[in-house]
Structure 1
Amino acid sequence: MKNRITVLLLGACLSAGAAFAQPISPEAKERVLEAIGKQIKSHAYVKGVDFSRWDSLVEKHKEAFEGASTQDQFAAAVNGAFAEFGFSHLNLQTPRAAEIRTTGRTVGIGVTIEVRPDGLLVTRVIEGGPAQKAGIKVGDLLFEADGKPIRGVEDVRGEEGTKVKIRVRRGEEALDFEVVRAQFSVVQKDELKWIDDKTALIRVNSFATGYDPKAIDELFDEARKAERLIVDLRFNGGGAVPNLSHLAGKVLPPYTPLGKFITRADANKFKEANPDKPDDPALVAKEYGWTIGARAQRDGKRFDGDVVVLVSPSSASASEIFAAAVKEHKRGKVVGTKTAGAVLASTFVRLPEGFSLQLPLMEFVTFGGLRLEGAGVQPDEPLKPAEVGDDDLAVRAAMKAFGVALPSAA
């Protein structure tokens, strides 16, 4: 089971394959809902959650399920029902979304977004993608497509080569852009930048698809020339445990404990041995659980200088574990905003009709005994949300944490 465990929080990627707005039949929806019920009742585990509630939630959201005519609408309705459980890592993916997750490629306008009541907020623009070429920027709110209000991602999806006129709100301005939908990679290349002659910044975009240990090794070979290192995880939504352990080993001694994963079986054992105590993961972790740690480096080398980790509300799951470990082991400082608070171990299960279910299997407790799910990591040096998304301001804050003031921009 361990090699199948992933620590993930999937951001919404605004994209569309050639076959967009795929219809779904009532029979198909019924098969998917039945499979979901079996999986979460038999295998899902989150502290204090009664998964038998799913039957009542299905009844409560029956109208939304029945009203969904496409795969995307159905997945959105199901995920709306999941949201009532109140935790992360329980998510239904359409066949298209599952393909994007595994291949890293899709067709669309090339942004990641957060759905807002008045449109779609751009949280990242894919480098070299259609939106970037058109001039759309992070922070823009997409609110009209071809003259119609945008209410969801389907309103801007379309086939490769087709055009869409998008109106965005940027501050107090309303701007118009024409975007040609195209194929692009959702995998972002990790990179190193020199801030000054003694400070390097390494941006790690994901611990999932696209994380390349060899490429990270090369970046750290270069970074070891520096005295100070900024690890930028502001847009990193998580990924696989082995990749987290690999990066942790770049700044922490070999086998440094990052924390423990707690299974349903661990909680049951604890409860049997301690019937008068609550099965809180922090208590269970003192006696049971699967410890994960920093991986030893093959060449025995790691970065020994000062470290700052940049985080934001988009820093989730494995990113939060990394930041917490740096903080708890007093290896460096965390700068930014409170992280997402989405830290559960999960796996993906195939469902009928090509759908995929992200299923939470384990709780996580840090080395210092903190349950990060729902809480997140508090930064040592806090920034406002508007500041943490600005590269220049974020870097200046990181340098300030080192005790270094950058010269003012001309």
Structure 2
Amino acid sequence: MRRSRSTAVAHALAAVLLVFSCCLGFHFTPRAQERAPQEPAPGAHAQAPGDRQSVDLAKLYDAVVDTIEQKFFDEALLKRLDWRERAKAFRPTVLSAATAEDAFRQINALLSELKTSHTALFTPDDYEYYVLLDVLSPDPSLTELMTRQFWGSGPYFPGIGVFTREIDGLHFVDSVLEGSPADRAGLKYGDEVLTVDGMPYSPVAAFRGKIGTTVELKIRRDLDTALQSLEVSVIPIRPTSAFAAATAASARIIEQNGSRIGYVHIWSSNEANTFKAALAKFEPRNIIQDRLRRWGVPITPDRMSSAVEDAPKPLDFLIVDIRGRVGGNTGVAGQYLELLAREKSYWGNSRTIVRSNSGLQTGLGNSPQNPPFRGRSTLLIDHHTRSAAEFMAYGYKRGAFGPLIGTTTAGAASSGALFAMPADLLLYVAVAGHELNGERIEGVGVTPDHRVERPLPYAAGADPVLDAAVDLLAKQAPK
């Protein structure tokens, strides 16, 4: 029965990948036209269009408008907005833009009127461009782009292992991938990044042509001290590989008031083995086996039995962190919940709505029951938690696995598909909407049980959300 229910939810909810929903109306950082960088590997050559003359804006705009009309799942919304007429009226604004970047911003402003996640235009100067190409199953329309831009390798971009957020024209470190060059160099959440080798910082373009080199970052950690310089290595970042490595590197044990609290930061629900491998680090038996292997001792039942006396104490609690801007696959998110589940359904009944030639089609499914993770847990969420990660948060809360701590999730729970546009741009389009137990997460989000903010600018790495989780769990420890 458990297997059949697990299969049902996988088929019902994993038909479309849910990843990296955009913040509609985000700001593209202007940049000068560049020559193609001479990278030591082929994959980081993706170049954003430079000046206005290098982009046929009319062709681009018409392709965007037509694709939305053909692929966007909510035809009723398009009719209410009178999409074709609205796009026609908006066209002169885009075509008269002074720069290509201005035109891209205007197109995204139009797309934001749909008020639906997973719907935006991305350029090679956006992190999302590479993440989507790597995580989403390739559409045939992307084959030529993938071959031209990343022949012989998967999508990757030059970087140091951080995501930044722009606030009032300033760039702040919003996420640091554990184990990345940025992490090793000491870059922290909340640091303002000003320059890279003396040039103004931008998320991707600032590192082009620098793979395999070390760059100097000028950062400001707080307003009361002088600028700091950090030397950081630039590497080719393949998103799926980087997220898996960061998840594994994040696993650690926090000691608090005599309690052993495990911590894992899940960066993407793209494949379940990453989370399983991180959890395995906390299992005493695995720790024993690793120790014996390092000693070159054959593992036998007798040796395992005698070594158990030396085993680390089992975990008392587990903190699972799903903060961040990456979603993933709903089926894998379900597998994550199975690793934490107690004894009851965590999603309940689901309804998936997709567009077809005969109108909107609805698929129904339910959720599995699986053995529990041996110990109490809590889930960390924030305004970036989106897509498949929101489904995980919803199921975790509905199943009463433990407390959710942080801030309300993004409310970005549509499913997106990716389409190649002129000038090697990418259009992300919401192609399905979802309901769980008659509830919509899209535009609403999942609320925490304990609301704790984590301010960004000049935070110097402080994490009051994690601190609150540790304190809460430690207080639950038996006396």
Measured against aligned partners, the alpha-carbon deviations of 1:162-193 in whole angstroms (never above 9, x if no partner) come to 77665444331451436567223242321322
Tell me the residue number matched to 2:267. Answer: 205
Change (3 A) 1:381 1:100: closer
**Which of the numbers 351, 363, 373 marks the counterpart of 2:442?**
373
Tell me the residue number matched to 1:249. Answer: 338
Tell me the residue number matched to 2:274. Answer: 215
Contact kept, 8 Å, 2:383 with 2:408, in 1: the verdict is: yes
CA distance in structure 2 between the partners assigned to 1:74 and 1:164 by the alignment: 31
Q: How does 1:41-80 map to 2 (within 5 A)?
A: 41-46=69-74, 49-50=77-78, 52-53=82-83, 56-57=86-87, 59-60=89-90, 62-64=92-94, 66-67=96-97, 69=99, 75-80=104-109
Greater relative contact order (Cα < 8 A, sep 6+) = 2
The root-mean-square deviation of aligned C-alpha atoms, in Å, is: 4.0
Measured against aligned partners, the alpha-carbon deviations of 1:326-345 in whole angstroms (never above 9, x if no partner) come to 11122221111111111111
SS in 2 for 1:113: strand
**Which deviates more from structure 2 when the two are superposed, residues 229-238 or residues 189-198?**
189-198
> How many equivalent residue pairs?
378
What is the one-letter code of the residue matched to 1:201? Y
Contact kept, 8 Å, 1:11 with 1:112, in 2: the verdict is: no
CA distance in structure 1 between the partners assigned to 2:418 and 2:168 by the alignment: 29
* Pair 1:346-2:416 in alignment: yes
What is the one-letter code of the residue matched to 2:83? R
- Answer 1 or 2: which has greater helix percent: 2
- Answer 1 or 2: which has greater strand percent: 1
* Pair 1:107-2:165 in alignment: no
**Which deviates more from structure 2 when the two are superposed, residues 91-100 or residues 141-150?**
141-150
Tell me the residue number matched to 1:279. Answer: none
Q: Name the TM-score, length of structure 2 as normaliser.
A: 0.66
CA distance in structure 2 between the partners assigned to 1:181 and 1:20 by the alignment: 21
Deviation at 1:27, TM superposition (A): 6.1
Contact kept, 8 Å, 1:165 with 1:176, in 2: the verdict is: no
Change (3 A) 1:165 1:240: same
Tell me the residue number matched to 2:405. Answer: 335
Measured against aligned partners, the alpha-carbon deviations of 1:327-374 in whole angstroms (never above 9, x if no partner) come to 11222211111111111112222334433221112222233x331112
CA distance in structure 1 between the partners assigned to 2:204 and 2:416 by the alignment: 27
* Pair 1:184-2:236 in alignment: yes
What is the identity percentage for the equivalent residue pairs of Structure 1 and Structure 2? 20
Measured against aligned partners, the alpha-carbon deviations of 1:5-25 in whole angstroms (never above 9, x if no partner) come to 111225799999445444375
Tell me the residue number matched to 1:382. Answer: 451
Measured against aligned partners, the alpha-carbon deviations of 1:233-256 in whole angstroms (never above 9, x if no partner) come to 112521122221221221235875
Q: Name the TM-score, length of structure 1 as normaliser.
A: 0.76
Contact kept, 8 Å, 1:307 with 1:331, in 2: the verdict is: yes
Structure 1 unaligned regions, length at least 5: 271-287
Contact kept, 8 Å, 1:344 with 1:364, in 2: the verdict is: yes
What is the one-letter code of the residue matched to 1:41? E
SS in 2 for 1:40: helix
Contact kept, 8 Å, 2:197 with 2:216, in 1: the verdict is: yes
Contact kept, 8 Å, 1:238 with 1:315, in 2: the verdict is: yes
Q: Which has the larger radius of gyration?
A: 2
CA distance in structure 1 between the partners assigned to 2:191 and 2:471 by the alignment: 28
Measured against aligned partners, the alpha-carbon deviations of 1:295-321 in whole angstroms (never above 9, x if no partner) come to x7xxx7541432211111221111111
Change (3 A) 1:339 1:182: same
Deviation at 1:90, TM superposition (A): 0.3
Change (3 A) 1:175 1:202: same
* Pair 1:232-2:321 in alignment: yes
Contact kept, 8 Å, 1:346 with 1:361, in 2: the verdict is: yes
